[in-house]
């Protein structure tokens, strides 16, 4: 049974088709990566898959639940969590509170017991605090348990978003460029974290430019180009797909020389895999 | 146990209880009691309004309208129709909650500060209805209100009113603190920071904003009902747009997102005009100046700025003593 079922998904911004007629399934328990040149529609796709954008056409179903046209909080309620490329951390709160907010779906209670602070709620709050601390340790934020969010470095904030998403106890986690802005050591630790996420039973959808990371952890890859599906399949197949190499090496170079780094890393990764 | 007493929550509640308990020592006559009660009533409104402004990040420019509906609802039901005051008060409160829900629900689905516009309009409409429907409200002349009574017990004496309002203020603060330190309260603070960040962990932002808007309207309505019974007379004077602005000013002055700040703001800005009666005609100018001064010099409000100042002093102090030890 597929976890996430996407059919004919499109998103138009004015006359631009950011995502066009995409269909794919995401299987449970795997790392599913979405790659493509800048502007290929990767982030738009993630916004569609988390309900932040409403699709212009097409359907999104999660298990047997139809999610098309639902609000983001309903996507979250079904077990889809996400992080953001441009951080959406709650900067006025402590790091721990950020993660505690992630527990919301499991902690919320009626207005009367909230206002009167029932003993049950007080106990649940203590448990929530401990659980949030546990999740922070899991993602490697044990040094920031009593930190204020606005006092944390960038790399830690990226992990904090993962911790907050993990706190919702998701079935599917969408990571939007988790390695962007990280130094090489932090990026290496991220591989390990993604693997441990899948070991917890979380299906990971990864949008990422760091090809070393993508090739290292992905089971399945979807390649987008101009909002359309260019290739899809197991990581080993996609890596050798001539169309993919063309999009990254041929097309991209012709459009814009700034893809140099990305291409170099693709080539490096490909060479490494073939060795 | 000691650490729990020292927490801002319990410590603050105890400090407020102590202030209410010992204040009568300084209240020399009924006039002073009258001001203290007025402070308490405004503080109850501000504690509720602060939940909306400070935590949900929404502005209401119509809370005097809810206050007025509470006052007139109680006055009309209890005095004209002879309802028991408690029943009149509770019925009015439910009606105001329903009205706030009906207004808030469509408006708060929109992102941005549309609530300010909607409540501005609502406040003006309430004021106009109260001044024109003189068959029920007495129009600009106002309406006399029977004293508050439960069973055979009639509440008349200022001193007893003082304790009643003091206790209710404590309860209001306690409820507000409970809300803030709950999953719902965290959700509110979170969506004030990043609405999309809050939504993707499962928080229905619109629902939470509506909830807190209704709670703040209920606080204002209850304060209005109590004010009507206490003073024995209501006029449209307290239902004006200017009074709505005064209430917002109290919250901003005391400190947004600080429950005790709201109480301090209400206390200072309710007593100030009484002390500066010479300014009577320029009262709004003084309020405007206070608002501007706060925004420029204490943008976080009096209480949060003070708390931060004390904390940094203490940190410096402990750092210095550590330095000496080393």
ipTM for this model? 0.85
- Nearest-Å Rg of the Cα atoms of chain A is 19
* Domains of chain B, each with CATH number or no CATH: 9-325 (1.10.3470)
- Rounded to the nearest 10 degrees, what angle do helices B30-50 and B259-275 cross at? 140
Judge if A187 and A235 occupy the same domain. Answer: yes
Same domain, A180 and A133: no
Note whether A62 and A187 are same-domain residues: yes
- How close, in Å, is residue A226 to chain B by CA atoms? 26
Give the domain-ending residue among A169, A197, A221.
A169
**Structure confidence at residue A40 (pLDDT):** 86
Which helix (H) or strand (E) segment holds residue A68: the answer is: none
Q: CB of B254 within 8 A of CB of B133?
A: no
Q: B92-132: per-residue pLDDT in tens?
A: 999 999 999 999 999 998 877 899 999 999 999 999 999 99
Could you tell me the CATH number of the domain that includes residue A75?
A: 3.40.50.300
pLDDT of residue B305: 84
Say yes or no: A183 and A202 in one domain. Answer: yes
**Contact between residue B287 and residue B295 where contact means Cβ atoms under 8 Å apart:** no
The pLDDT of residue B6 is 56
Contact B199 A73 (CB under 8 A): yes
Interface test with B, best of A105, A115, A148 (most B CBs within 10 A): A115
Rounded Cα distance between A61 and A6, Å, is 6
Q: What tens digit of pLDDT does each residue of B137-186 get?
A: 888 889 999 999 887 788 888 899 999 999 999 999 999 999 999 999 99
- Whether the Cβ atoms of residue B153 and residue B229 lie closer than 8 Å to each other: no
pLDDT of residue A36: 87
Both A162 and A174 in a single domain? no
For residue A110, what are the domain limits?
90-169
Strands of the sheet with A16-26, listed across from one edge: A16-26, A4-13, A57-62, A65-66
CB pairs under 8 A between A and B: 103
Does A224 lie in the same domain as A119? no
pLDDT for res A273: 54
* Distance linking the first and last C-alpha atoms of chain B: 32
Q: Is residue A263 part of a domain?
A: no
The b/e string for A114-148 (b: 16+ C-beta within 10 A; e otherwise) is bbebeeebeebbeebeebbbebbebbbbeebeebe
* Residue stretches of chain B with pLDDT short of 50: 1, 323-326
Q: Is residue A260 part of a domain?
A: no
CB contact under 8 A, A76 and B198: no
Mention every residue, 6+ apart, whose C-beta is less than 8 A from residue B166.
B20, B21, B40
CA A270 from chain center: how many Å?
24
Nearest to A114 among B184, B196, B198 (CB): B184
Is residue A113 located within the same domain as residue A165? Answer: yes
* A106 and A143 both lie in a single domain: yes
Of residues B76, B52, B107, B36, the one with CA closest to residue B218: B52
A6 and A74 part of one domain: yes
> Do B187 and A104 make contact, defined as CB atoms within 8 angstroms?
yes
| Residue B79 DSSP label | I
Whether A249 maps to a domain, the answer reads no
Cβ–Cβ gap B200/A121 under 8 Å: no
For residue A160, being part of any structural domain is answered with yes
pLDDT at B113: 81
Query: Which among B179, B187, B194 has the least Cβ separation from residue A88?
Result: B194
Residue A193 is assigned to a structural domain of this protein: yes
Residues A128 and A185 in one domain: no
Residue by residue, DSSP assigns A134-149 as HHHHHTT-GGGTT-BG
Distance CA B103, CA B115 (A): 9
In this predicted structure, what is the pLDDT of residue B154? 85
Listed in sequence order, the residues at least 6 apart from B189 whose beta carbon sits closer than 8 Å to its beta carbon are A90, A92, A93, A97, B55, B180, B257
* Final residue belonging to a domain, choices A122, A142, A169: A169
| Tally of structural domains, chain A | 2
In a domain, A118, yes or no: yes
Q: Look up the pTM and report it.
A: 0.87
Let me know whether A190 and A75 are in one domain: yes
Asked if the structure places residue A22 within a domain, the reply is yes
Using 70 as the pLDDT threshold, list the residues of chain A that sit under it: 1-2, 249-275
Domain boundary among A122, A143, A169: A169
Do A213 and A147 lie in one domain? The reply is: no
Which residues in B have their CB inside 8 Å of a CB on A? Answer: 175, 178-179, 181-187, 189-190, 192-194, 196-205, 211
| DSSP-derived 3-state class of residue B257 | coil
């Amino acid at each position: 049974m597929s976890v996430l079922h996407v059919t004919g998904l499109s998103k138009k911004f004015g006359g631009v088709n950011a995502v066009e007629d995409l269909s794919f399934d995401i299987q449970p328990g795997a790392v599913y990566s979405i790659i493509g040149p800048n502007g290929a529609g990767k982030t738009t796709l993630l916004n569609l898959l988390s309900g932040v954008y409403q699709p212009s056409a097409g359907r999104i179903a999660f298990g047997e639940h139809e999610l098309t046209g639902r609000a983001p909080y309903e996507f979250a309620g079904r077990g889809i969590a996400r992080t953001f490329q441009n951080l959406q951390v709650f900067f006025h709160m402590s790091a721990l509170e950020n993660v505690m907010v992630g527990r919301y779906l499991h902690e919320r209670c009626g207005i009367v017991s909230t206002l009167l602070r029932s003993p049950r709620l007080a106990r649940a709050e203590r448990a929530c605090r401990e659980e949030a601390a546990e999740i922070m340790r899991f993602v490697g934020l044990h040094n920031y348990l009593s930190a204020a969010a606005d006092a944390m470095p960038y790399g830690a904030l990226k992990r904090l978003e993962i911790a907050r998403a993990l706190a919702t106890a998701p079935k599917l986690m969408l990571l939007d460029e988790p390695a962007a802005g990280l130094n090489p050591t932090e990026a290496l630790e991220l591989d390990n974290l993604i693997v441990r996420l899948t070991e917890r039973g979380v299906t990971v959808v990864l949008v990422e430019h760091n090809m070393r990371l993508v090739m290292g952890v992905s089971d399945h890859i979807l390649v987008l180009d101009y909002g359309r599906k260019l290739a899809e399949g197991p990581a080993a197949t996609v890596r050798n797909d001539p169309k993919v190499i063309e999009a990254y090496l041929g097309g991209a170079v012709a459009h814009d020389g700034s893809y140099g780094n990305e291409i170099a890393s693709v080539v490096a990764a490909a060479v490494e895999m073939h060795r | 146990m000691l650490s729990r007493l020292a927490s801002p929550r319990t410590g603050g509640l105890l400090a407020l209880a102590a202030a209410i308990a010992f204040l009568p020592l300084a209240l020399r006559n009924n006039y002073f009691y009258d001001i203290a009660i007025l402070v308490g009533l405004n503080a109850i409104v501000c504690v509720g309004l602060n939940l909306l402004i400070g935590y949900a990040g929404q502005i209401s420019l119509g809370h005097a309208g809810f206050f007025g509906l509470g006052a007139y609802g109680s006055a009309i039901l209890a005095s004209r129709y002879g309802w028991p005051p408690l029943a009149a008060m509770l019925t009015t409160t439910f009606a105001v909650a329903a009205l706030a829900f009906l207004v808030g629900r469509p408006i708060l689905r929109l992102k941005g500060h549309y609530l300010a516009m909607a409540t501005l309009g609502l406040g003006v409409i309430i004021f106009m209805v109260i001044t024109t429907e003189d068959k029920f409200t007495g129009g600009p002349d106002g309406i006399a209100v029977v004293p508050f009574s439960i069973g055979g017990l009639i509440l008349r004496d200022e001193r007893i009113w003082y304790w009643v309002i003091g206790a209710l203020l404590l309860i209001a603060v306690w409820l507000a603190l409970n809300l803030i330190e709950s999953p719902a309260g965290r959700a509110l603070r979170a969506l004030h920071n990043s609405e999309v960040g809050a939504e993707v962990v499962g928080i229905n932002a619109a629902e939470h904003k509506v909830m807190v808007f209704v709670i703040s309207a209920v606080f204002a309505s209850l304060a209005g009902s109590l004010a009507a019974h206490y003073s024995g007379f209501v006029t449209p004077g307290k239902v004006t747009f200017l009074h709505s602005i005064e209430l917002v000013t109290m919250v901003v002055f005391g400190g947004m997102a600080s429950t005790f700040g709201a109480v301090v703001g209400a206390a200072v800005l309710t007593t100030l005009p009484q002390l500066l009666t010479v300014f009577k005609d320029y009262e709004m100018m003084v309020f405007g100046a206070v608002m501007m001064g706060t925004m420029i010099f204490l943008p976080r409000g009096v209480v949060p700025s003070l708390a931060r100042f004390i904390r940094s002093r203490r940190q410096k102090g402990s750092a210095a003593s550590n330095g000496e030890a080393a």
